[in-house]
Amino acid sequence: MMYQATVTLKKGGGRTLKAGGMWVYDNEIDSIMGGFENGDIVNIQDFDGYFMGYGFINMRSRIAIRLLSRKKEDLIDETFMERRVRAAWEYRRETIDTESCRVIFGEADFLPGIVVDKFSDVLVVESLALGIDRWKTVIVKALKKVLAEEGILIRGVYERSDAKVRLQEGMERYKGFIGKAFDTRVEILENGIKYIVDVEDGQKTGFFLDQKNNRMAIRRLCHDKKVLDCFTHTGSFALNAGIAGAKSVLGVDASPLAVEQARENARLNGLEGRVSFQCADVFDLLPKLENQGESFDVVILDPPAFTKSRSSVKNAVKGYREINLRGMRLVRDRGFLATCSCSHFMESELFAKTIREAAQGAHRRLRQVEFRTQACDHPILWAADQSFYLKFYIFQVVNEY
């Protein structure tokens, strides 16, 4: 099908697209023939007229076009969107526990700019691009239909499109119900642990599902151990340590709301005796604990993204180096450090180099136990580099001999 406007790429343009990626940048466009509004679907062709695909256009954004399909015969309509949604759900059903999971992960599910998380019987939608925003109700309707076919009834949908990145698309930040109102505090079960997820006021969509498998991975290290969980958010790593039989767990976060929710989650699982939480700035607290002569068998560092752009990577490196150095100094000889970065811009090699520098500064030797990434409901689409963002290491920390 021919859409109203046709975008022609410059000679040598569209490199990301040609490599299997999903984006066309504004400086790769040579000409646009035909009328369009930002958010419309356009035809994309190479400089020589070769058909490249269909995508959403938004000339307000540096990412001018987000690809929807490379097939010329595709018609972008409700049937097309349902097909994409169905494929996304089938992938989750085959790869992960779907009680609570990310059911749509933007470009990695060939639905650019939209994320949908399922928390038990509630969906949380995050729409980050103008073109897909027009289709979000169609996508939600299709997802509810596909889930209902398996007897999964969704009692409510909440939109958390309040990320700053929407401003770059010329859109306002927004949050609110899609459909009827419901109780936005949702109880979920993950790895046998109950959590209350606040889908209205929690960070991002309310809970970080991407660490599901990594939380399980630290359990075997925590039995009968003294554990420190930094940037605990609502207590997920701390509670996994507690359920694994840790002797004591201290979870730390700067957000009073997160700490209160973490304490509630501990009570919900009968762990309040062994798992405690403190509201503090981790950067301030770690040196204090070191000065007090504290040490731990296991230290977990799960910070927020210190960088959300290439321009702030240098400062982020300093932050990651500092917390890893401080964290290592608190690990007893032959104890364990779990450390991660959830920033796409903190590339794997740079993160590894930063940890290595921290170890040198702390005079500790690291033995890598394992390297992990995000859970498979956040699939990494090769060539769409932004879909790979979570780097997670477990090390044994050894004093220098």
> Would you write out the chain's pLDDT as a tens digit for each of its 401 residues?
568 999 999 999 999 999 999 999 999 999 999 999 999 999 999 999 999 999 999 999 999 999 999 999 999 999 999 999 999 999 999 999 999 999 999 999 999 999 999 999 999 999 999 999 999 999 999 999 999 999 999 999 999 999 988 998 999 999 999 999 999 999 999 999 999 999 999 888 889 999 999 999 999 999 999 999 999 999 999 999 999 999 999 999 999 999 999 999 999 999 999 999 999 999 999 999 999 999 999 999 999 888 667 777 888 899 999 999 999 999 999 999 999 999 888 899 999 999 999 999 999 999 999 999 999 999 999 988 889 999 999 999 999 76
- Separation CA 93–CA 339 (nearest Å): 29
Angle between helices 313-329 and 282-291 (to 10 degrees): 30
| pTM confidence score | 0.94
Catalytic residue of the set 101, 222, 230, 342 = 342
For the chain, where do the domains classified as CATH 2.30.130.10 start and end? 6-69
Fold of 6-69: 2.30.130
For the chain, where do the domains classified as CATH 3.30.750.80 start and end? 78-187
Architecture of domain 78-187: 2-Layer Sandwich (3.30)
H or E element: which one contains 369? strand 364-372
Architecture of domain 208-399: 3-Layer(aba) Sandwich (3.40)
b vs e for 318-353, b when ≥16 Cβ sit within 10 Å of the residue's Cβ?
Answer: ebbbbbbbbbbbbbeeebbbbbbbbbbbbbeebbee
Residue 342 falls in the annotated catalytic set: yes
Task: At 380, list the tokens.
Answer: 């990494």
Radius of gyration of the chain from its Cα atoms, rounded to whole angstroms: 23
For the chain, where do the domains classified as CATH 3.40.50.150 start and end? 208-399
- Separation CA 139–CA 58 (nearest Å): 20
Q: Helix (H, G, I), strand (E, B), or coil: what is residue 130?
A: helix
